[in-house]
A and B are shown apart, each in its own frame.
Chain A
Amino acid sequence: NAGVIQTPRHKVTGKGQEATLWCEPISGHSAVFWYRQTIVQGLEFLTYFRNQAPIDDSGMPKERFSAQMPNQSHSTLKIQSTQPQDSAVYLCASSLGVLSYEQYFGPGTRLTVL
């Protein structure tokens, strides 16, 4: 079991460009979560899916961020017109369920917006 896989590990974009981050959850896990981590804001919840359906996107900045889970083997987080304040480590996690289940985190994608 390779664990949660996130690609790329590092991404550098110019201001105004688009960034797409990929996550491959652990096989058999029904829930996938996205978080953003910065020194200043800490670990922020963005959104999660259960059985590929979007359940809660209350943490997502509405205008430029979107997440999808087109099949059970991967999820994407897309940021349009990236801004320097989007620079962060984006973490994906998966779990067997939601509330009482352990989340398994990937290593994260470090996004740097110049």
Chain B
Amino acid sequence: QQKVQQSPESLIVPEGGMASLNCTFSDRNSQYFWWYRQHSGEGPKALMSIFSNGDKKEGRFTAHLNKASLHVSLHIKDSQPSDSALYFCAVSTGGIFFGDGTQLVVKP
């Protein structure tokens, strides 16, 4: 059974700072990776996907995938208070598995 683990559990960064979120997975056959963000009282919303090794940048968000290391990460540049949310990593291989999330707080 796929195991998806996220770190850290919680993260506080100053406004304008860089937030780095990590996710490890256990199944080497994993193919598709997503990052979701959930604001309080709402359902999760997809931020970005990454399917190939390397970096993928979308605005202030950069995802990095290293399948050999079983690791995917999300980096948020110039963090804003509106980025404060719960962030999930989702990994697909036969099924879809979510990590437990990282709670990000961006302090003004």
Interface residues of A (CB under 8 A from B): 4, 33, 35, 42-43, 45, 56, 58, 91, 93, 98-100, 102-108
Chain B: minimal CB distance from A22 (Å): 15
Which of B10-18, B45-53, B68-76, B77-85 interfaces with chain A? B45-53
B25 at the interface (CB under 8 A from A): no
Number of interface residues of B (CB under 8 A): 24
Number of A-B residue pairs with CB-CB distance less than 8 Å in the complex they form: 55
B residues 67-108 in Cβ contact with A at 8 Å: 88, 90, 92-101
Cross-chain contact of A93 among B42, B43, B93 (Cβ < 8 A): B43
Known: A42-B100, A105-B43, A106-B43. A100 touches B92 (CB 8 A): yes
CB within 8 Å of A: which B22-44 residues: 31-32, 34, 36, 41-44
Of chain B, the residue at the smallest CB distance from A105 is B43
The answer, among B36, B98, B101, for a CB contact under 8 Å with A45, is B98
B96 is contacted by which of A45, A91, A107 (Cβ under 8 Å)? A45
Q: In the complex, what's the smallest C-beta–C-beta distance from A7 to chain B, in angstroms?
A: 14
